[in-house]
Amino acid sequence: MTTLQASAPEVRDDRVDPVARARDLGGINPRRTARTIGILILLTILGGIFAQAMVSNRLISFSDAALTARNILANRSLFELSFTVYLIEMACQVASAALFYRLLRPVNGNIALVATCVELTGCVIKTLSRLFYITPLFVLSGPPALSAFNPDQLRALAILLLKINDRGAALALAFFGVSGVLHGYLVFRSTFLPRALGIAGMIAAAGWLRFFYPPLRTPSFTIIALLAITVAAVEIFWLIVYGVDEKRWRERSAASAVA
Protein backbone atom coordinates (compact mmCIF):
# COMPACT_ATOMS: atom_id res chain seq x y z
CA MET A 1 0.00 0.00 0.00
CA THR A 2 1.25 3.38 -0.95
CA THR A 3 0.69 6.06 1.59
CA LEU A 4 0.15 9.55 0.24
CA GLN A 5 1.11 12.26 2.60
CA ALA A 6 -0.07 15.76 1.88
CA SER A 7 2.68 18.25 2.29
CA ALA A 8 2.04 20.68 5.10
CA PRO A 9 1.35 24.21 3.92
CA GLU A 10 4.23 26.60 4.36
CA VAL A 11 3.73 28.70 7.44
CA ARG A 12 4.86 32.27 7.15
CA ASP A 13 6.17 33.78 10.30
CA ASP A 14 5.65 37.51 10.31
CA ARG A 15 7.11 37.84 13.76
CA VAL A 16 10.51 38.86 12.47
CA ASP A 17 12.71 41.31 14.26
CA PRO A 18 12.27 44.53 12.25
CA VAL A 19 15.85 45.56 12.96
CA ALA A 20 17.12 42.26 11.56
CA ARG A 21 14.87 42.69 8.52
CA ALA A 22 16.27 46.16 7.96
CA ARG A 23 19.79 44.75 8.18
CA ASP A 24 18.97 42.17 5.53
CA LEU A 25 17.23 44.62 3.21
CA GLY A 26 19.56 47.56 3.72
CA GLY A 27 22.78 45.67 3.15
CA ILE A 28 24.95 48.57 4.29
CA ASN A 29 26.78 49.74 7.36
CA PRO A 30 25.17 53.18 7.94
CA ARG A 31 27.95 54.59 10.11
CA ARG A 32 30.67 53.53 7.69
CA THR A 33 28.61 54.86 4.79
CA ALA A 34 28.18 58.22 6.54
CA ARG A 35 31.92 58.49 7.13
CA THR A 36 32.64 57.64 3.51
CA ILE A 37 30.22 60.37 2.42
CA GLY A 38 32.00 62.83 4.70
CA ILE A 39 35.39 61.98 3.16
CA LEU A 40 34.01 62.26 -0.38
CA ILE A 41 32.45 65.66 0.34
CA LEU A 42 35.75 66.82 1.83
CA LEU A 43 37.63 65.71 -1.30
CA THR A 44 35.04 67.44 -3.49
CA ILE A 45 35.46 70.74 -1.66
CA LEU A 46 39.26 70.54 -1.53
CA GLY A 47 39.38 69.71 -5.24
CA GLY A 48 37.16 72.66 -6.08
CA ILE A 49 39.19 75.05 -3.94
CA PHE A 50 42.45 73.97 -5.56
CA ALA A 51 41.23 73.98 -9.18
CA GLN A 52 39.08 77.11 -8.93
CA ALA A 53 40.66 79.37 -6.31
CA MET A 54 44.32 78.41 -6.61
CA VAL A 55 44.58 77.83 -10.36
CA SER A 56 41.67 79.07 -12.46
CA ASN A 57 41.13 82.39 -10.67
CA ARG A 58 44.86 83.16 -10.77
CA LEU A 59 45.43 82.31 -14.41
CA ILE A 60 42.22 83.59 -16.00
CA SER A 61 41.27 87.23 -16.41
CA PHE A 62 38.05 87.65 -18.39
CA SER A 63 38.89 91.31 -18.98
CA ASP A 64 42.34 90.62 -20.46
CA ALA A 65 42.50 87.91 -23.14
CA ALA A 66 46.21 88.44 -23.82
CA LEU A 67 47.17 88.05 -20.15
CA THR A 68 45.00 84.93 -19.82
CA ALA A 69 46.64 83.38 -22.89
CA ARG A 70 50.13 84.05 -21.54
CA ASN A 71 49.26 82.65 -18.13
CA ILE A 72 47.76 79.43 -19.52
CA LEU A 73 50.63 78.77 -21.90
CA ALA A 74 53.27 79.60 -19.28
CA ASN A 75 51.59 77.29 -16.75
CA ARG A 76 50.43 74.53 -19.07
CA SER A 77 51.11 71.65 -16.68
CA LEU A 78 49.34 73.39 -13.80
CA PHE A 79 46.37 74.20 -16.02
CA GLU A 80 46.11 70.55 -17.13
CA LEU A 81 46.40 69.42 -13.51
CA SER A 82 43.51 71.67 -12.52
CA PHE A 83 41.38 70.07 -15.24
CA THR A 84 42.21 66.61 -13.84
CA VAL A 85 41.32 67.78 -10.33
CA TYR A 86 38.00 69.14 -11.63
CA LEU A 87 37.18 65.66 -12.97
CA ILE A 88 38.18 63.98 -9.69
CA GLU A 89 36.00 66.51 -7.87
CA MET A 90 32.99 65.48 -9.96
CA ALA A 91 33.72 61.77 -9.51
CA CYS A 92 33.72 62.25 -5.73
CA GLN A 93 30.45 64.17 -5.86
CA VAL A 94 28.75 61.50 -7.97
CA ALA A 95 29.87 58.84 -5.47
CA SER A 96 28.69 60.87 -2.48
CA ALA A 97 25.30 61.49 -4.15
CA ALA A 98 24.81 57.74 -4.66
CA LEU A 99 25.78 56.93 -1.06
CA PHE A 100 23.61 59.74 0.30
CA TYR A 101 20.65 58.15 -1.48
CA ARG A 102 21.29 54.85 0.27
CA LEU A 103 21.71 56.56 3.63
CA LEU A 104 18.61 58.77 3.41
CA ARG A 105 16.31 56.37 1.56
CA PRO A 106 14.71 55.06 4.79
CA VAL A 107 13.44 58.58 5.55
CA ASN A 108 11.61 59.03 2.25
CA GLY A 109 12.63 56.98 -0.75
CA ASN A 110 10.90 59.20 -3.33
CA ILE A 111 12.44 62.45 -2.13
CA ALA A 112 15.86 60.80 -1.78
CA LEU A 113 15.62 59.56 -5.37
CA VAL A 114 14.59 62.98 -6.70
CA ALA A 115 17.42 64.66 -4.79
CA THR A 116 19.94 62.20 -6.20
CA CYS A 117 18.71 62.59 -9.79
CA VAL A 118 18.80 66.39 -9.55
CA GLU A 119 22.32 66.34 -8.10
CA LEU A 120 23.54 63.96 -10.79
CA THR A 121 22.05 66.28 -13.41
CA GLY A 122 24.14 69.09 -11.97
CA CYS A 123 27.22 66.85 -12.03
CA VAL A 124 26.67 66.06 -15.72
CA ILE A 125 26.26 69.76 -16.58
CA LYS A 126 29.38 70.73 -14.65
CA THR A 127 31.47 67.89 -16.09
CA LEU A 128 30.50 68.80 -19.65
CA SER A 129 31.31 72.44 -18.89
CA ARG A 130 34.87 71.43 -18.07
CA LEU A 131 35.40 70.51 -21.71
CA PHE A 132 35.17 74.26 -22.40
CA TYR A 133 37.74 74.79 -19.65
CA ILE A 134 40.45 72.62 -21.22
CA THR A 135 39.71 73.45 -24.88
CA PRO A 136 41.31 76.95 -24.76
CA LEU A 137 44.65 75.26 -24.12
CA PHE A 138 44.41 73.56 -27.52
CA VAL A 139 43.17 76.74 -29.18
CA LEU A 140 46.06 78.81 -27.83
CA SER A 141 48.63 76.17 -28.76
CA GLY A 142 48.12 77.12 -32.42
CA PRO A 143 47.00 73.86 -34.08
CA PRO A 144 47.11 73.80 -37.92
CA ALA A 145 43.32 73.57 -38.08
CA LEU A 146 43.10 77.12 -36.66
CA SER A 147 45.81 78.66 -38.83
CA ALA A 148 43.21 80.87 -40.52
CA PHE A 149 42.74 82.83 -37.29
CA ASN A 150 45.18 85.46 -36.10
CA PRO A 151 46.50 85.42 -32.49
CA ASP A 152 44.02 88.03 -31.27
CA GLN A 153 41.10 86.01 -32.62
CA LEU A 154 42.41 82.84 -30.97
CA ARG A 155 42.74 84.62 -27.64
CA ALA A 156 39.21 85.97 -27.96
CA LEU A 157 37.93 82.47 -28.76
CA ALA A 158 39.74 81.11 -25.71
CA ILE A 159 38.07 83.68 -23.45
CA LEU A 160 34.67 82.83 -24.94
CA LEU A 161 35.18 79.13 -24.19
CA LEU A 162 36.25 79.90 -20.63
CA LYS A 163 33.16 82.05 -20.13
CA ILE A 164 30.96 79.16 -21.33
CA ASN A 165 32.68 76.93 -18.79
CA ASP A 166 32.02 79.50 -16.07
CA ARG A 167 28.32 79.82 -16.98
CA GLY A 168 27.91 76.06 -17.15
CA ALA A 169 29.42 75.61 -13.68
CA ALA A 170 27.07 78.31 -12.35
CA LEU A 171 24.07 76.52 -13.86
CA ALA A 172 25.14 73.30 -12.16
CA LEU A 173 25.15 75.13 -8.81
CA ALA A 174 21.43 75.82 -9.24
CA PHE A 175 20.74 72.09 -9.47
CA PHE A 176 22.99 71.48 -6.46
CA GLY A 177 20.86 74.01 -4.60
CA VAL A 178 17.70 71.97 -5.24
CA SER A 179 19.33 68.70 -4.22
CA GLY A 180 20.88 70.37 -1.16
CA VAL A 181 17.50 71.65 0.05
CA LEU A 182 15.99 68.18 -0.36
CA HIS A 183 18.93 66.52 1.40
CA GLY A 184 18.62 69.03 4.24
CA TYR A 185 14.91 68.24 4.58
CA LEU A 186 15.63 64.51 4.74
CA VAL A 187 18.33 65.04 7.36
CA PHE A 188 15.90 67.16 9.38
CA ARG A 189 13.30 64.36 9.28
CA SER A 190 15.75 61.50 9.72
CA THR A 191 16.08 61.27 13.56
CA PHE A 192 19.47 59.55 13.06
CA LEU A 193 21.23 62.84 12.17
CA PRO A 194 20.98 66.19 14.02
CA ARG A 195 18.00 68.30 13.00
CA ALA A 196 20.14 71.44 13.20
CA LEU A 197 22.36 69.98 10.49
CA GLY A 198 19.35 69.62 8.21
CA ILE A 199 18.14 73.18 8.86
CA ALA A 200 21.59 74.64 8.20
CA GLY A 201 21.90 72.55 5.04
CA MET A 202 18.59 73.83 3.65
CA ILE A 203 19.52 77.46 4.35
CA ALA A 204 22.97 77.14 2.77
CA ALA A 205 21.70 75.27 -0.29
CA ALA A 206 18.89 77.76 -0.91
CA GLY A 207 21.48 80.40 -1.84
CA TRP A 208 22.55 78.43 -4.91
CA LEU A 209 19.02 78.65 -6.32
CA ARG A 210 19.68 82.21 -7.49
CA PHE A 211 21.80 80.78 -10.31
CA PHE A 212 18.61 79.67 -12.05
CA TYR A 213 18.32 83.35 -12.99
CA PRO A 214 21.81 84.69 -13.85
CA PRO A 215 20.97 88.44 -13.60
CA LEU A 216 20.09 87.98 -9.92
CA ARG A 217 23.09 89.36 -8.04
CA THR A 218 21.87 89.07 -4.43
CA PRO A 219 23.16 87.46 -2.36
CA SER A 220 26.67 87.58 -3.78
CA PHE A 221 28.59 84.44 -4.71
CA THR A 222 31.13 85.07 -1.95
CA ILE A 223 28.47 85.15 0.78
CA ILE A 224 26.79 82.00 -0.54
CA ALA A 225 30.11 80.17 -0.89
CA LEU A 226 31.32 81.08 2.61
CA LEU A 227 28.02 79.98 4.16
CA ALA A 228 27.99 76.75 2.15
CA ILE A 229 31.61 75.91 3.06
CA THR A 230 30.95 76.59 6.76
CA VAL A 231 27.90 74.33 6.82
CA ALA A 232 29.72 71.69 4.77
CA ALA A 233 32.64 71.76 7.24
CA VAL A 234 30.26 71.06 10.14
CA GLU A 235 28.52 68.33 8.14
CA ILE A 236 31.84 66.72 7.19
CA PHE A 237 33.03 66.80 10.81
CA TRP A 238 29.81 65.19 12.05
CA LEU A 239 29.70 62.50 9.37
CA ILE A 240 33.36 61.51 9.81
CA VAL A 241 33.58 61.72 13.60
CA TYR A 242 30.08 60.67 14.70
CA GLY A 243 28.49 59.13 11.62
CA VAL A 244 24.84 58.35 12.27
CA ASP A 245 22.81 56.89 15.11
CA GLU A 246 22.92 53.34 13.78
CA LYS A 247 20.09 52.05 15.96
CA ARG A 248 17.70 54.76 14.80
CA TRP A 249 18.79 54.33 11.19
CA ARG A 250 17.95 50.63 11.33
CA GLU A 251 14.63 51.38 12.97
CA ARG A 252 13.76 53.80 10.17
CA SER A 253 14.99 51.31 7.59
CA ALA A 254 12.87 48.59 9.17
CA ALA A 255 9.78 50.80 9.22
CA SER A 256 10.37 51.71 5.58
CA ALA A 257 10.81 48.05 4.62
CA VAL A 258 7.62 47.01 6.41
CA ALA A 259 5.67 49.86 4.81
| 98-111 residue pLDDT tens | 999 999 999 999 99
Q: Which of 147-151, 157-161, 222-226, 233-237 has the lowest mean pLDDT?
A: 147-151
- Whether residue 145 lies inside any domain: the answer is yes
pLDDT band at 259 (very low <50, low <70, confident <90, very high): low
Whole-number pLDDT of residue 156: 94
Q: How far apart are CA 178 and CA 115, in angstroms?
A: 7
Torsion angle in degrees (nearest 10) through CA of 253, 112, 97, 186: -80
Residue 257 lies in a domain: no
The residue range of the domain holding 192 is 29-250
Q: Is residue 2 part of a domain?
A: no
Q: Is residue 13 in a domain? A: no
pLDDT range class, residue 4, cuts 50, 70, 90: very low
More confident residue, 149 or 179: 179
Summarize the confidence of residues 126-149 as an average pLDDT. Answer: 89
Q: Is the pLDDT of residue 185 over 50?
A: yes
**How far apart, in whole angstroms, are the C-alpha atoms of residue 210 and residue 208?**
5
pLDDT of the residue at 83: 97
* Count of domains for the chain: 1
The answer to whether position 10 is within a domain reads: no
Domain contains 8? no
59 touches 71 (CB < 8 A): yes
